[in-house]
Structure 1
Amino acid sequence: MQDIINRFISYVTIDTESDPNSNTTPSTEKQWDLANKLVEELKAMGMQDVTIDENAYIMATLPSNVAHDVPTIGFVAHFDTTPDFTGANVKPQIVENYDGRDIVLNAEQNIILSPDYFEDLLQYKGQTLITTDGTTLLGADDKAGITEIMTAMDYLIKHPEIKHGKIRVGFTPDEEIGRGAHKFDVEKFGAEWAYTMDGSQIGELEYENFNAAGAKITFQGKSVHPGYAKGKMINSMLLANQFISELPINEVPERTTGYEGFFHLHDIHGSIEETVVELIIRDHNKDHFEARKALIQTIADKINTAYEKQFGGPICEAIVKDQYFNMREKVEPVFHIVEIAEKAMKELNITPIIKPIRGGTDGAQLSFKGLPCPNIFAGGHNFHGKYEYVPVESMVKATEVIVKIAELTAQK
């Protein structure tokens, strides 16, 4: 267990925050720091065909150790962290034998990780938790997944008595900004299917995710001296507010769960002359997803109709771009790949939690690129913020799941 702790901490203390405003891949130079470290570790442990391309996509091979034909499978994780919260100067704290009480992350700033608010903590009484110090995220999303894949490969190399087929490993940049699979070479990877190690609590097994789109709505205005503005001024910020008020009030992340979709306002900035609103649109149901995108344009058209004469042309522009789609349609035809993961968990006395992802992983895009790719738990909780934590025992179990899947796939 200490090896996993050491490996994980060595990864999370390297800042790999991605940047949605960058046009490069990876989107930040600092992602190369961890990428290059992983390449050296893969080579040192004895993995074969270790490569890193000009965009920092890493691939490596663990050769088969059986004589019969076995499908080539893969395991994938991403090494960037979200730009939603700082990942610089991460200082992990280790809580041994967690007692079920409040955890003081930062006494000076009175930042408390409490089971009264985060009930999942109580599942891990008696276990070892790794938390933040309250000033950064932790980076278990998805450095826990990387830790588990690396540890599993190292274990299989050191235990050749465990029979397995050819295994491919892939680590990607920029997943957190929706680009993790954009330049992933599925043909080069050469696996029949793969698993992303990018889920949350122990037991999660997911093959459904949101259909996803992003919307950027730009409102124009006319600035006039407020003392003489009657009938002349058009305040673009108020138009933006009008637009937002037209969206369904209860269809937001904080009021939805399960298969329920939502609109999420994540950025707004502007002035009288121009305001930009950015939303993400999410829904598991394809028809509902299309209806959500259509609603954005309907509201924009309504505002344009109301103000076009006064403004002298369109005053609102809505640009909606698809981001990824529900992997279910690509995984269901090869559902045995989910059943193998489920069986692996059960043999390890882990209760599978099969449920839809309220988000997306590289696996969603990879599935549509020809690599069916369900998602398996990596163990972390409260991603993208200062309350993030991961139980070490969950990372150990995820590592065991990888090994067991490799073993089950190789059975005749």
Structure 2
Amino acid sequence: MENLLPRFLEYVSIDTQSDPNSKTTPSTEKQWKLAKKLVLELSKIGLEKVSIDENGYIMATLPSNLNKEVPTIGFIAHYDTTPDYTGANVKPQIIENYDGGDIVLDKASNTVLSPDYFEDLKQYEGQTLITTNGKTLLGADDKAGVAEIITAMEFLIQNPEIKHGKIRVGFTPDEEIGRGVHKFDVKKFGADWAYTVDGSQIGELEYENFNAAGAKVIIKGKSVHPGYAKNKMINAIGVANEFLSLMPPREVPEMTEGNEGFFHIHGIKGDIENAEFELIIRDHDEEQFQARKGLLRAISEKLNNKYGAIISVEINDQYRNMKEKIEPVFHIIEIAEVAMLKIGIEPIIKPIRGGTDGSQLSFMGLPCPNIFAGGHNFHGKYEYVPLESMQKAVETIVKICELTGEKF
């Protein structure tokens, strides 16, 4: 366990930001630097069949030390970081024995991590926090998961008295741009089920996630001299604003929680003749998810009837709610839940308000719920992770391996 912190700090020092506009896999060349390092480290700690393919997918095996056949289980994490915020020149700060007060991340910009705003901080008083320096993200999403999986495998190798079946490890690129497992070889991985180690706070155990789609609304206007524009000009910017006004104003991320779905506008640009905006659509309920997509088409039809055929809507499904694939094999949730309880963690079973590689893997034939990696405030400069949460994630992985060997 002593290698966990230095391992994590080394990983976050390497910029692995992914790029949604790239057509390659990995989407950025810089992801290869960490990927190649992980391959060497997996071999160094003693895992077998360590491999990396032409797309940056890493796999390795810890052989069974049992004299009976039990299911093969896997643990998966991603090594890229989000394009939403810079991951270059990450310089973590280590706050030992956190006193429960404000943490000044960057004095010059008055960037403060405060429990008055981020209330989750209050539960970590007295612990060791790893934060940013207020200028970058941290990268605990999901380099904490990567470090925890490797540390857990190292612990099992060093403690052979802990009995377990065959364990497979997988690390993927480009999760943050929704392509993390598009080229993942489930058959080659060869696990009966797996767990992504990519959740947030300690205790999280998730097997429900949003149904998800991305959409682009494109508007073609008509530019006419404004002095002579009556009944002639069609201002694409104005039509875009009208389109947005017809969408439910409270069904947005900042006003929803739990199982509530939303629309999220994340990009807009335009002039009089051309305007477009991009959004994501999220809902746990399949019928409501389809209704949300239908609403965009209905608004488009209404405005096209008003202005002529000037609006097109492109909708692309991204991933589905994995609940339907996990419920038939619910024992994999029960094993993780018992594992947490046995090491003194109260499981927090709740839907993911986001996506996970596990959702796509579940529909590819590998049931794959998500367990906590310990971090908070992902994708920005307020990101942090308690060291003690990371240590408990390692213990959870080890205990899941042990319990699976005992159960079957």
TM range (shorter): over 0.9
- 1:396 is aligned, of 385, 388, 391, to 391
1:182-209 per-residue CA deviation (whole Å, 9 max, x = no partner) reads: 1000000000000000000000000000
Q: Aligned residue for 1:358?
A: 353
Residue 224 in structure 1 maps to residue 219 in structure 2: no
1:276 positional shift? 1.2
Question: Are residue 79 (structure 1) and residue 74 (structure 2) matched?
Answer: no
Q: Alignment length, in residue pairs?
A: 407
CA–CA distance in 2 between the matches of 1:271 and 1:12?
Answer: 40
The one-character-per-residue Cα deviations of 1:14-72 (angstroms, maximum 9, x if unpaired) are 00000111111111111101100000000111110001001000000000001101100
Q: How far apart, CA to CA, are the structure 1 residues paired with 2:2 and 2:253?
A: 37
Q: Which residue of 2 aligns with 1:192?
A: 192
1:205-224 → structure 2 map (5 Å cutoff): 205-224=205-224
Opposite residue 393 of structure 1, the aligned amino acid is E
Q: Please state how far the C-alpha of 1:380 moved relative to its aligned partner.
A: 0.2
Q: Which amino acid aligns with 2:328?
A: P
Query: What letter matches 1:228 in structure 2?
Result: Y
Percentage of pairs with the same residue: 71
Amino acid at match of 1:358: R
Instruction: Tell me the SS of whatever aligns to 2:3.
Output: helix
CA distance in 1, matches of 2:167, 2:333: 17
> 5+ unaligned residues in a row in structure 2: which ranges?
none
Pair 1:236-2:236 in alignment: yes
Distance 2:198 2:33 in 1: 21
Q: Once the two structures are superposed, what CA deviation does each residue of 1:212-253 show, in whole Å capped at 9, x if it has no partner?
A: 000011001111222222222111111111111111011000
Q: What aligned pairs does 1:299-314 form with structure 2 within 5 A after superposition?
A: 299-308=299-308, 314=309
Deviations 1:304-331 (A, max 9, x none): 11001xxxxx100001110000000000
Cα distance in 2 for residues equivalent to 1:2 and 1:159: 14
> Residue deviations 1:112-142, cap 9 Å, x none?
0000000000010000000001111000000
Kindly indicate whether residue 332 of structure 2 is the aligned counterpart of residue 337 of structure 1.
yes
Name the CA distance, whole Å, in 1 between partners of 2:377 and 2:22: 26
Q: Residue 171 of structure 1 corresponds to which residue in structure 2? A: 171
Deviation at 1:3, TM superposition (A): 2.1
Amino acid at match of 1:409: T
Question: How far apart in 2 are the matches of 1:158 and 1:98?
Answer: 31
Q: What is the CA RMSD across the aligned residues, in angstroms?
A: 0.7
Matched, 1:132 2:128: no
2:315 counterpart residue number: 320
What does 1:2-401 correspond to in 2, within 5 Å?
2-308=2-308, 314-401=309-396
- SS of 2:278's equivalent in the other structure is strand
> 2: CA distance between counterparts of 1:160 and 1:75?
19
TM-score after normalising by structure 1: 0.98
SS at match of 1:187: helix
- Provide the secondary structure at the position in 2 that maps to 1:263: strand
- Shift of the alpha carbon at 1:4? 1.3
| Partner Cα separation in structure 2 for residue 146 and residue 357 of structure 1 | 20
SS in 1 for 2:51: strand
- Which amino acid in 1 is paired with 2:192? E
Q: How many Å separate the matches in 2 of 1:369 and 1:208?
A: 16
Which deviates the most, 94-103 or 226-235? 226-235
**Cα distance between partner residues in 2 of 1:324 and 1:75:** 20
Equivalent-residue separation in structure 2 for 1:276 and 1:202 (angstroms) = 40
Cross-structure match for 1:311:
none
Q: Distance in 2 between matches of 1:333 and 1:200?
A: 25
The alignment's TM-score, normalised by the length of structure 2, stands at 0.99
Residue type at the aligned position of 2:35: A
Separation in 2, partners of 1:67, 1:269: 62
Q: Displacement, 1:257?
A: 0.3
For residues 302 and 336 of structure 2, the distance between their equivalents in structure 1, rounded to whole angstroms, comes to: 49
Q: CA deviation at 1:2?
A: 4.6
For each residue in 1:60-102, what CA deviation from the matched residue of structure 2 results, as whole angstroms up to 9, or x when unmatched?
A: 0000001101100000000010001111111100000000000
Cα separation, 2, equivalents of 1:263 and 1:348: 39
The aligned residue for residue 404 of structure 2 is 409
Match of 2:121, SS state, is helix
Distance (Å, rounded) in 1 between the aligned partners of 2:230 and 2:350: 54
Aligned counterparts of 1:271 and 1:177: Cα–Cα separation in 2: 28
Letter in 1 for 2:95: V
Which amino acid in the other structure matches residue 341 of structure 1?
A
Taking the aligned partners of 2:233 and 2:135, their CA distance within structure 1 comes to 43
SS in 2 for 1:410: helix
Q: Which amino acid aligns with 2:366?
A: L
Q: CA deviation at 1:152?
A: 0.3
